[in-house]
Homo-oligomer: A and B are copies of this chain.
Amino acid sequence: MLKEYIKGRLPAIDEALDRFLPLTNYPSHIFEAMRYSVFAGGKRLRPILLMAAAEAVGKSGSAFINVACGMEMIHTYSLIHDDLPAMDNDDLRRGKPTNHKVFGEAVAILAGDGLLTEAFKVMLAQPNVAPEILVTVVGEIAAAAGAMGMVGGQTIDLMAEGKTIDGETLKRMHQAKTGALFKAAIRSGARLAGASGVKLAALTEYAEQFGLAFQITDDILDVVGVEEKIGKPLGSDVKNNKVTYVSLYSLEGAKKMADEAVDRAINALDDFGDEATILRDFVHYLVNRDS
């Protein structure tokens, strides 16, 4: 069911991303570089979550394709910049050479900048939404991606290198670094579809637990995952002396925490019926994934 759901939505997302980043634009070189990473095999988790959240509120998710794709562009820019030599210095991403390995460092920096900026252009051109809703939704996405969100989390991560951090700081870092954008995707889908009050609060709780489960699972996969599927060497966290949920709480402890987060995510959807089936399936799929 979930696989079919994802499979059904991917073509529309890819078609829209293709349309939003046409190679015919001038200068084509920067569009080439942006497209390289956008079409490098990402799972489109954020746009699909946004659509699924809209559908849990009873609207068609594909109506909000602009905001959905904007979130994918923001996610992609963050990967390009994270991989840079001055940051994580990664040569491979999903088994392919990273952006700066193909286009050089300068163009990779610009490709990231370009994707982040184009994301806002694309999101603000979202049709079918009252402007006052769009303004608050895109503003919330900016906050989630900004200096107290994703960029802030990346900063905390950088500063924690080689240091011991406690569980509270680890959680706070991940909430900012990846959790905030997941939460924004789910809340945006819900708000664009007209949710407010109790429903929005429930989906917000779901989103927070989803993000937590996602990150713990990420740490677990770095230890027990399948290298070919992840597309990068396993054990990089241990090698880089990184504090993770596994290093802090052991593999068993981390698995238990992930399961608890999944339960809380599912419970948050108690007042929803079948329209939230995809969101429920999603969080189960998430902790059972192998990449």
Contact = CB atoms under 8 A, between A and B. Distances in A.
Contacts of A113: 77-78, 81, 112-113, 116, 151
Contact of A124 (B109, B114, B139, B159): B139
B158 A106 contact: yes
Interface stretch (A26-34, A42-50, A264-272, A280-288): A26-34
Nearest to A148: B25
B107 A109 contact: no
Nearest to A156: B27
Contact of A147 (B31, B134, B146, B158): B31
Interface string A125-158: 1000011101110110011011111011011101
Interface residues of A, number: 52
Contacts of A158: 106-107, 110
A64 interface: no
Contacts of A121: 139, 142-143, 146
A84 interface: yes
Contacts of A114: 146-147, 151-152
Interface of A: 21, 25-27, 29-31, 34, 77-78, 81, 84, 86-87, 104-107, 109-110, 112-114, 116-118, 120-121, 124-125, 130-132, 134-136, 138-139, 142-143, 145-149, 151-152, 154-156, 158-159
